[in-house]
Amino acid sequence: MGYDPVFLGERHEVPLPVLLGKTAEDALENGRVYDFTHFSIVMNKRRKFAVYSAACVDKSRFVNIPRTNRLWHLDDRIGAMNQVGPEYYAQNDYDKGHLTRRRDVCWGERHEAEKANRDSFCYANIVLQHHNFNTGVWNCLEDWILNRMESEKKLIVFTGPIFREDDEEYCGVQGQPGCQVKIPFGFWKSVFFVDGQHRLKSLSFLIRQSPERFNDACEYRRLQTYQVPLTTITRETELLFKHTLYEANPLYFWPYRLAAAGCLVTPERHLITQPADIIMDRE
C-alpha cells in the first residue's frame, strides 16, 4: 500500500497536494500517483525526477533491514525514459540521494519492510545530490527532526526537489550536452504529526544545493538549512496543500519581518544549525 492520507487518523487527514502551474504542466501522466510500499511518488516528465515523494512512517514498528546496494532498479510503470538512470551517477561526485529515506519505510511485518526497503531503491525515488550534501546537512536534517519528536510514533513526510529554469545541466561523465538532465536547485521537506494534545502539527524545511560551494570545504560547512512556513514550500514548488495544513505550521502566524523591511520577495525563514533550533510550537 502506498501513501495513506488518513495515516494519522480520520480527524487528521493529510491529502496529497494539488499541482499548480508549471508543476502541473510538467507532471508525468497528468500527475499520476505511483504507489510503493509505505510511500507514493508523482513524477516530473521534463526533469525525470520526482515532483515529490510522500511517505507514511511508523516508528513503533521499525524493522532493521540491512542496506545493500544491489537493489537499484527502474520502475516499469514509470518507464526508463522518464527516470534519471544509473549512468548519471557513475564516476562522479554525485550520490543517489533518496527522497523518501530507506529507513523510514522499513516498518511493519518483516516481508512488508523488506519490500519497502527494495522499493526505496527505485530511481524514481532518487535524485542527483552532491556527496557532501547527501552525507552532510541533508542526511542530518531528518535525524534532527526525529530527535525533537521522540514521543510521536507516526509521521507523514513529504520530500522533493526544488527546480529552477537555470539549473545546471549534467549529462554524466560520458554524456553529450543537451541531455536536459539538470541538478536541482535545492530540496524541501514537510513533516506532519499529531502532538500530545491531539493536534495536527507540521514542520517544513528548505535547503539550497549550490554546486559551486562544494569545491570549497569551508564554504560547504556554511550551507544553511531553514525552517519555513508551508506557504514557502507552495511558493517554491507550486504544490497546494489542504488549507488547514498551513495553519498547522508553527511559523504560520509569525510576522513577516523581512517583508516589513521591504524585501517582499524574501520568505520568512528560521536558521537551523542543531536539533534544538527547530521550532515546534507558536507559543
The 3-class secondary structure across 7-58, one letter per residue, is: CCCHHHCCCCCEECHHHHHHEHHHCCCEEECCEEEEEECCCCCEEEEEEEEE
Active site residue 73: no
| Residue 86, phi then psi, degrees to nearest 5 | -60, -25
Per the residue annotation, which of 12, 38, 73, 98 is the catalytic one? 98
Tell me whether residue 134 is annotated as binding.
Answer: yes
The CA distance from 276 to 280, in Å, is 10
Contact yes or no for 18/5 (Cβ under 8 A): no
Instruction: Count CB neighbours of 16 within 10 A.
Output: 17
Residue numbers belonging to the annotated binding site for Mg(2+): 134
Which positions are catalytic?
98
Residue numbers belonging to the annotated binding site: 134
